[in-house]
Amino acid sequence: MSKILVFGHQNPDTDAIGSSYAFAELSRLRGLETAEVVALGDVNEETAFALDYFGVPAPRVVTSAKAEGADQVILTDHNEFQQSISDIRDVTILGVVDHHRVANFETQAPLFMILEPVGSASSIVYRQFKADGREIPKATAGLLLSGLISDTLLLKSPTTHETDVKVAEDLAKIAGVDLETYGLALLKAGTNLATKPADVLIDIDAKTFELNGHSVRVAQVNTVDIPEVLARQSEIETAIKTAMQANAYSDFVFMITDIVNSNSEILALGQNSDKVEAAFNFELKDNHAFLAGAVSRKKQVVPQLTESFSK
C-alpha cells in the first residue's frame, strides 16, 4: 500500500494539527496502515504548548506529497486548494474532514467528505472515533480538545456549535484536564507576540481566499493587548506590503483579536479598501478600524468580505 499523508492547512493552527494527528491515527485503525500525519508548516506556540503538555512530537513538515513518495492524501480542517499542499492537484484526495466553506475544490475520483458546521475539525474527528466505537487515547483526546478550544476560544466564539460543549467536556475528561484551567493556559500560550518579527506575526495564522477574482489574504493573531500590537503598525504594514508584492495579494486583512474582551481591530491594506469598509460598515482610519464583538475569521470576517467583494 502506498504512503498516505494526512494534514491540515498551510500555516497550521492547533485544530489543523490536532485533527490531522487524530484522524491519521483513526485511519490506521480503519486499515489504512500507511497513513501518516504531517504538517504544512511549523507549529505555533499555542500548538507547541499542547504537544508538549500531552507528550506528542510535532509532525514533520513537508511541502510536496510526491517528494514524500505519496500519491494519496487526506485533508483535515481545510479543502480549498490554495490552502493545501503544493502539489494537491497531482495526487488523489481520499477524503476531507472539515468545518469550513467548500470552494475551489474538485477531484477526479470519488472520495469521502465529512463536512459539519461545528466549531472545529477536531469535533468531527472525535465523533468519528465514537461512531466507530473506538477508545480515544489520552494524548489524542488532549490534542482534539486543544483544537476545539483554540478554534472556539474556549467555547466563546460564535462559531461554537451547541454540540461542541459536550464534546469539550468529554475530551477534557479523557485527557485528564480541567477544561477552563487548561483552556486558558493554552490560549495564553498563543498570545506571546512581542518578540515575533512582523513578517512572522502576519503569517502565524493566515489563509488566502479567492474572492471574485481577487486574492485576499486574511490573517489573525490573538492577544490580550491590542494597543501593544498596534504600536508596531509601521513595522507590520511594511511586512504586509512585502508579502502582498511577493504573493500577488490584492488585499491583506490583518485581524488583531482580544481574547479577553472578545473584540478585534482590523488592519487592512490593498486595492479594495472600500470593499473592506463596506463589509464591516466601518471607516478605516490610518488603515485600521475597531470591530466590536468579532473574534471569528470564519464566521465574522470571511463571509462578510466574500459578500462585499462579490458586488
User: Would you say residue 16 has pLDDT above 70?
Assistant: yes
Strand 251-258 and strand 3-7: pairing?
Answer: unpaired
For 178-186, the CB contacts below 8 A with 24+ separation are 179/145, 179/149, 179/154, 180/154, 182/53, 182/145, 182/149, 183/149, 183/154, 184/154, 185/49, 186/14, 186/46, 186/49, 186/50, 186/53, 186/146, 186/149, 186/150
The verdict on 175 and 268 lying in the same domain is no
What is the DSSP secondary structure assignment for residue 77, as one 8-state letter? Answer: S
Residues 105 and 222 in one domain: no
Same domain, 33 and 115: yes
Kindly state whether residues 258 and 181 are assigned to the same domain.
no
C-alpha to C-alpha distances, 304 to 108, 278, 280, 285, nearest whole angstrom:
31, 9, 7, 19
pLDDT of 311 reads 87
The Cα diameter of the chain in Å comes to 57
Of 132, 157, 191, which marks where a domain is finished? 191
Q: What percent of the chain has pLDDT over 70?
A: 100
Percent of the chain with pLDDT over 90: 95
Burial class (CB in 10 A: 0-12, 13-18, 19+), 50: buried
Residues 60 and 176 in one domain: yes
The model carries a pTM of: 0.85
Q: What is the mean pLDDT of residues 202-229?
A: 95
Measuring CA to CA, how many Å separate 38 from each of 23, 59, 68, 74, 140?
Answer: 11, 5, 10, 11, 15
* Residues 45 and 65 occupy one common structural domain: yes
**Per-residue pLDDT tens for 54-67?**
999 999 999 999 99
Query: Tell me, what DSSP letter sits at residue 134?
Result: P
* Domain match, 42 and 118 both: yes
How many C-alpha atoms does 143 have within 13 Å on its Cβ side?
30
Tell me the pLDDT tens digit for each residue of 275-305: 999 999 999 999 999 999 999 999 999 999 9
- The CATH number covering residue 238 comes to 3.10.310.20
Binding residues for Mn(2+) are 9, 13, 15, 77, 99, 151
Q: What is the DSSP letter of 46?
A: H
Q: Is residue 174 domain-shared with residue 264, that is, in the same domain?
A: no
- For residue 145, give the CATH number of its domain: 3.90.1640.10
Q: What is the structure's pLDDT at 192?
A: 87
The 10s digit of each residue's pLDDT in 19-51 is: 999 999 999 999 999 999 999 999 999 999 999
Q: Are residue 50 and residue 156 in the same domain, yes or no?
A: yes
Note whether 174 and 249 are same-domain residues: no
Per the structure, how many domains does the chain have?
2
Give residue 13's pLDDT: 97
- Give the pLDDT score at 58: 98
Same domain? For 172 and 222 the reply is no
pLDDT band at 1 (very low <50, low <70, confident <90, very high): low
Closest CA to 298 of 162, 176, 160: 160
Region 134-155: what's the mean pLDDT? 97
Query: Which residue positions form the known binding site?
Result: 9, 13, 15, 77, 99, 151
Amino acid at 158: P
Angle at 47 between CA 253 and CA 209, to 5 degrees: 25
Task: Write out the residue range of the structural domain in which residue 26 sits.
Answer: 4-191
- Considering the domain architecture, whether residues 68 and 92 belong to the same structural domain is answered as yes
Determine which helix (DSSP H) or strand (DSSP E) holds 246, and give its type and residue range. Answer: helix 233-247
Domain boundary among 191, 224, 246: 191
Strand duo 92-98 + 112-115: pairing: parallel
Cross-strand pairs, 93: 73
Mean pLDDT estimate for the chain: 96
Q: Phi first, then psi: what are they for 84, rounded to 5°?
A: -105, -165
130, 156, 191 — which closes off a domain? 191
